[in-house]
Structure 1
């Protein structure tokens, strides 16, 4: 199961040139770093963001049997993040389940939803209207 939050903002536009990004038009470091730091200030300690071909992600693992991956990516074309105008963003949260959890179809939907709501609240505190997209199975 996954949660997805989408919004448009100029708040997290890339600061480094296009050739320093994960791929052309693939931004998200500034959003991922801000989000990891904002969560940490609220007592939700995460890992540092790391680059992927499609954006940036980091983990939140409050217990040995719960690990959530938070992914941040832009929803725009290459070079769109450099003109100062808002671009689309997506933050997704996916539970990483071990073999035993998958075999027994165990999931922690409550933790996933609580973190998703927490992220929406953090974005709203920045005056960003975030839209929650229905969960993906």
Structure 2
């Protein structure tokens, strides 16, 4: 899965936020922050929802569904006790074409994939308080 891993003091774990996901899975503040910035990148009213794996920023439904996943990347047993500035976060972009788009909309899928990946990289790289982490 393509994506970005980073640390940042910008995002904190909110008490009880993992009740909406799974124990030890966080990222609510990151997802809301990212949704606001993706709106500035031209995505109209991104919506943040909880998933069992983390937090989803729904960016577009047309012409194909586009979303960004956000979650912490460390062992969930470390949980909320980890200092926020040391927590590793992960974001990844997803374009989910339906059957017709897969069969006939290859150009649209490529265009939307490039658009969300470019926007995500621009937002994350443009924030001085984000430090990217190499894959282990």
TM-score, scaled relative to structure 1: 0.77
RMSD, aligned α-carbons: 2.7
Compute the displacement of 1:72 (Å): 0.7
Distance in structure 2 (CA, Å) of the matches to 1:116 and 1:52 = 21
The residue number in structure 2 matching 1:13 is: 12
Q: How many equivalent residue pairs?
A: 131
User: Where in structure 2 are the equivalents of 1:48-127 lying within 5 Å?
Assistant: 48-61=47-60, 64-76=62-74, 77-78=76-77, 79-80=79-80, 82-104=82-104, 106=106, 108-127=109-128
Distance in structure 1 (CA, Å) of the matches to 2:112 and 2:17 = 36
On the 8 A contact 2:56/2:70 being kept in 1, the answer is yes
- Is the deviation greater in 38-47 or in 99-108? 99-108
The gaps in structure 1 that reach 5 residues or longer are: none
Distance in structure 2 (CA, Å) of the matches to 1:19 and 1:131 = 24
Runs of 4+ in structure 1 displaced over 4 angstroms? none
TM-score, scaled relative to structure 2: 0.77
The residue number in structure 2 matching 1:33 is: 32
- Is the deviation greater in 98-107 or in 109-118? 98-107
- Specify the SS of the correspondent of 2:65: strand
Ranked by relative contact order (alpha carbons within 8 Å, sequence separation 6 or more), the top structure is 1
